[in-house]
Amino acid sequence: MFAKRQELTAEVRRGLPGNFLELSAGFTHYELQGDADAETVVLIHGNAAPYVTWDRTTGALTGAGLRVLRYDLFGHGLSDRPRRRTYDRRFYNAQLEELLQRLDISGPVHAVGTSQGGSIATCFASEKPGRVRRLALLAPLFDEVPGSRGVAVRLIRTPVLGELLMRVLSDAKLADLSDAVVDVETRAALQPDVLEQFRFRGKRRAILANLRGDALQDATACYQGVKDQRIPVLLMWGTLDQKLPPEPIGRLRNLLPDMEYHELEGAGHLAHYEFPERVGPLLVRFLTN
């Protein structure tokens, strides 16, 4: 546990990597790479880790001539942790839409999302018709998340009790990637970056706000909206994913039978970080087709 939490002040941000843009709800940490005239791909991370999980993905995309925007969702990474009771899909949609507007990205974009980032990307595409050209999903949250109705989640959602529980849990426990990355060495390479975000004040409060929102709730309506718009969809899922079992993936495939699907043998929840040599080419082919 960090002895002293830091505020994400202007002075602190000047010494951090990436770029920062002040939006209505606070500063968003982002990186934009590639030719301004190229088609834009937006990378949306999930709950397991912030935008650093795309470190091994951006090179393949920019190398294929795409412009790549990755950013930290509010409450994650180096973005601000706004004081709100809940962080919900509407809140995340507003962050992305305002970020695109402020960066002058007005045309349709490709969206790539992993885990909760997959449901965020899908709901954004559903609620903003014409804004997303193609949608790539890596182990996305869909209709039910294992444990979302369990005692632990109910307790942590409870006012006061949730705050007390957050004080007891260690940074290492909250940042643990043992159920997200299979290979021990790969996990060890990513773990420090995930733990680093706990150095800044408000991370635990943001975790509570996320869990008390609709992050773990059924997002079927959003996926149906994507189907109705006939947006091309790519889905990837690792056979060793400990966070997302095969059942919801099967139900998602039934809902969107025309989408392209790839099952990644031996991959866990963060397959794009663990196996970039397998995921990267699939993304490039789908997004440049």
| Counted domains in the chain | 1
C-beta neighbour count of 269 within 10 angstroms: 27
CATH number at residue 237: 3.40.50.1820
Confidence of residue 229 (pLDDT cuts 50, 70, 90): very high
What is residue 43's three-state secondary structure? strand
The candidate with the shortest Cα–Cα distance to 112, out of 85, 81, 87, 133, is 133
- The whole-number pLDDT of residue 221 equals 97
> What mean pLDDT comes out for the span 95-112?
97
Chain mean pLDDT for the chain: 95
Share of the chain above pLDDT 90, in %: 87
Q: Angle at Cα 262 formed by Cα 72 and Cα 66, nearest 5°?
A: 45
Largest CA-CA distance found in the chain, in angstroms, rounded: 51
Is residue 8 situated within a structural domain? Answer: no
> What mean pLDDT comes out for the span 156-167?
88
> What mean pLDDT comes out for the span 190-212?
95
Is residue 270 situated within a structural domain? Answer: yes
How many whole angstroms separate alpha carbon 249 and alpha carbon 32? 31
- The whole-number pLDDT of residue 145 equals 80
Confidence of residue 2 (pLDDT cuts 50, 70, 90): low
Cβ neighbours of residue 279 closer than 8 Å, sequence gap 6 or more: 57, 138, 236, 264, 271, 272
Is residue 66 situated within a structural domain? Answer: yes
pTM assigned to the model: 0.96
Whose tokens are 């008390």? That residue is: 212
216 torsion bin: left (phi>0), alpha (psi -120 to 50), beta (else):
alpha
> What mean pLDDT comes out for the span 72-96?
97
> What mean pLDDT comes out for the span 152-164?
85
The 10s digit of each residue's pLDDT in 46-74 is 998 999 999 999 999 999 999 999 999 99
The candidate with the shortest Cα–Cα distance to 273, out of 17, 40, 33, 48, is 48
- The whole-number pLDDT of residue 215 equals 80
Confidence of residue 216 (pLDDT cuts 50, 70, 90): confident
Is residue 40 situated within a structural domain? Answer: yes
- The whole-number pLDDT of residue 3 equals 57
User: Where in the sequence is the domain holding 207, given as residue range(s)?
Assistant: 19-288
- The whole-number pLDDT of residue 1 equals 53
Confidence of residue 255 (pLDDT cuts 50, 70, 90): very high
Q: What is the DSSP letter of 72?
A: P
What is residue 110's three-state secondary structure? strand
> What mean pLDDT comes out for the span 215-239?
96
> What mean pLDDT comes out for the span 226-240?
98
